[in-house]
Amino acid sequence: MSEGSGNWIDLGMLTPSDEWKIFPQDIGESTVFRGEYFSDWNAWDELQGYRSYGLLRVYYNDWVEPGFRIYPQQNTLVFSHSPIIKDVPKRIGVKRILRYSPRPYRMYNLRDFTYSSTTLSWSLRLFALQ
């Protein structure tokens, strides 16, 4: 996919979990990224389970940068991130962090203030501008 200032390189698509997952493509010297989220947005909007957010971090050969948060949304997310070290191979990893909160209160039904047994999953397709 091309844009006036460069090409978007597809880094892959991952479904985050409680363990770190690393995108298969190297990010090169990219500093601008685009994320597209995929989920069952109807279930997400109706709070039919636990929502989550993600952490992204850059992986170098023998160490990693601190993570930063991303929040799943129906809109495409474009963000910039300047890696600490230049001119070395690096990749991006993602991890899911669950947000535990009870289901919303519904008037006249105190029993509905329960925890859900479902975790709403989402996937992230990540692109790098080169």
pLDDT for the residue 31: 93
Q: 17-21, 51-55, 84-88, 112-116: lowest mean pLDDT where?
A: 112-116
Encode 73-82: b = buried (16+ Cβ within 10 Å), e = exposed. Answer: eeeeeeeeee
Q: 29-33, 50-54, 105-109: lowest mean pLDDT where?
A: 105-109
- Reported CATH class of domain 2-101+118-129: mainly beta
| Residue 111 Cα distances to 9, 70, 103, 114, 116, angstroms | 49, 33, 11, 7, 13
pLDDT higher for 10 or 117? 10
The pTM (predicted TM-score) of the whole model is 0.80
pLDDT for the residue 106: 53
Query: Which residue type is seen at 129?
Result: L
pLDDT higher for 51 or 65? 65
pLDDT for the residue 104: 56
* Bridge partners of residue 122, in order along the sequence: 39
Q: Where are the domains of the chain?
A: 2-101+118-129
